[in-house]
Amino acid sequence: MLVWPTSAHHWRCEADREEITMAKDDRRRATMRDVAHRAGVSIKTVSRVVNGEPNVAEATIAKVREATEALRYLPDAAAANLARGVRDTRSIALLISAMDNPFYASIFRGVEEVATLRGVVVFAASTHMDLAKEAALVAAFMSRRVDGFVVVPAPGDHRGVADLLGTHLPCVYVDCAPEGIAADVVTADNRAAARTATRHLLAGGHRRIGFLGDDAQLSTAADRLAGYRDELGRAGIVPADELVELGVLVASDAEAGTARLLGLDDPPTALFASRNMAAIGAMRILKQRGLSHRVALVGMDEMDMSDLVDPALSVMAQDPRGFGSAAAQRLFQRIDGLDEAPATLIVPARLIERGSGEIRAPS
């Protein structure tokens, strides 16, 4: 980890630059009472002006404005909400696996897009796919009184989390269905997507198809594995366990897994990498071994550079930004009082052929 150094020679000091003039005793933040005092009005009048309520004389408004500006008054949203007895804090929390995975970052973008339209702020944090961490974050944000949650669920029984949320705090899950509870979910048609990918590889003449996936406890991963097996079965192929590599979370896991698969006595001639990081790791190993143009590869999730690698990466493209928008929309429906049974929005993934997935099996 990069450390902010304490020794002086690492940084450039800027003491000489002209500084902004600042009030001497700015320690305590100005309060409404301070403003009222300065403007010579009552505290309630200040409240009216600040909140744009009607029935205040122009002159009074001007006086109050002068005071708020001189004192750099900023309303305390927490206190206001408390007084208002309001549940609506105009903020929601987003819990995702890790922000530095572009797939989740895109979900954030989609959520934010919708939240911003509504003037709602998004608080984000990473669970790193740890259920305990997820629960802790839910509690942390609840005590900060968010209006709702969008969550990419970690593996494990979510009854505890649902319990925390109770009935009045809505939560929409994304990417993956939470284990053990009924809830609103936005997810890809993972099983169908895996079937499409597998069928595509089978059509290329492949019979030994490797599978790279993450934690099979996750519905997402399990569905993809099931789809892969479905399609092999339909082709009359008995799915071999040795061709399945699970627990792939980061690229290095995928590298190890791909290396193992390629080292088998009868190695796969094609791979389905069911996660963005899985595809990256697989490409890395294939490239190292000079197999990029020999072993077919279909990835999952679109990436910025999928079209630039060699061969270009064929993928089952999801729409993570769309996941985020849809989840946020549903969440706001719930916040607005929608009271119907939990539903799952299933978004189809689509095959994008770019080359890597169209490599044919050696004949």
Residue 3 touching its own copies (CB under 8 A): yes
| CA nearest neighbour of 145 among 94, 90, 75 | 90
- 202 or 357, CB closer to its own copies? 357
Any contact of residue 140 with DNA (CB under 7 A)?
A: no
- Beta carbons within 8 Å of 251's beta carbon, 6+ residues apart: 277, 280, 281, 284
Cα separation values, 273 from 50, 119, 283, 294, Å: 55, 38, 10, 16
Residue 122 as a binder of its own copies (CB under 8 A): the answer is yes
DSSP string, 123-144: EEEE-TT-HHHHHHHHHHHHHT
* Smallest separation (angstroms) from DNA to the CB of 47: 3
Q: Does 345 bind its own copies (CB under 8 A)?
A: yes
Instruction: Say if residues 357 and 201 touch (Cβ distance below 8 Å).
Output: yes
- Residue 132 binds its own copies, judged by CB under 8 A: no
Q: Which is nearer to DNA, 50 or 262 (CB)?
A: 50
| Upstream peptide bond of 5 is cis (omega within 30 degrees of 0) | no
With beta carbons less than 8 A apart as the criterion, state whether 182 and 342 touch: yes
Closer to DNA by CB, 85 or 119: give it: 85
CB of 93 to DNA, least distance (A): 18
Work out the burial of residue 1: count CB atoms within 10 Å of its CB; fewer than 13 is exposed, 13-18 middle, 19 or more buried: exposed
Tell me: does residue 43 bind DNA (CB under 7 A): yes
- 85 is a site residue for DNA (CB under 7 A): yes
Which parts of 53-82 interact with DNA (CB under 7 A)? 55-57, 59-60, 73, 75-76, 79-80, 82
* Binding to DNA, residues 13-42 (CB under 7 A): 28-29, 31-33, 41-42
Residues that bind DNA (CB under 7 A): 28-29, 31-33, 41-45, 47-48, 50-51, 55-57, 59-60, 73, 75-76, 79-80, 82-85
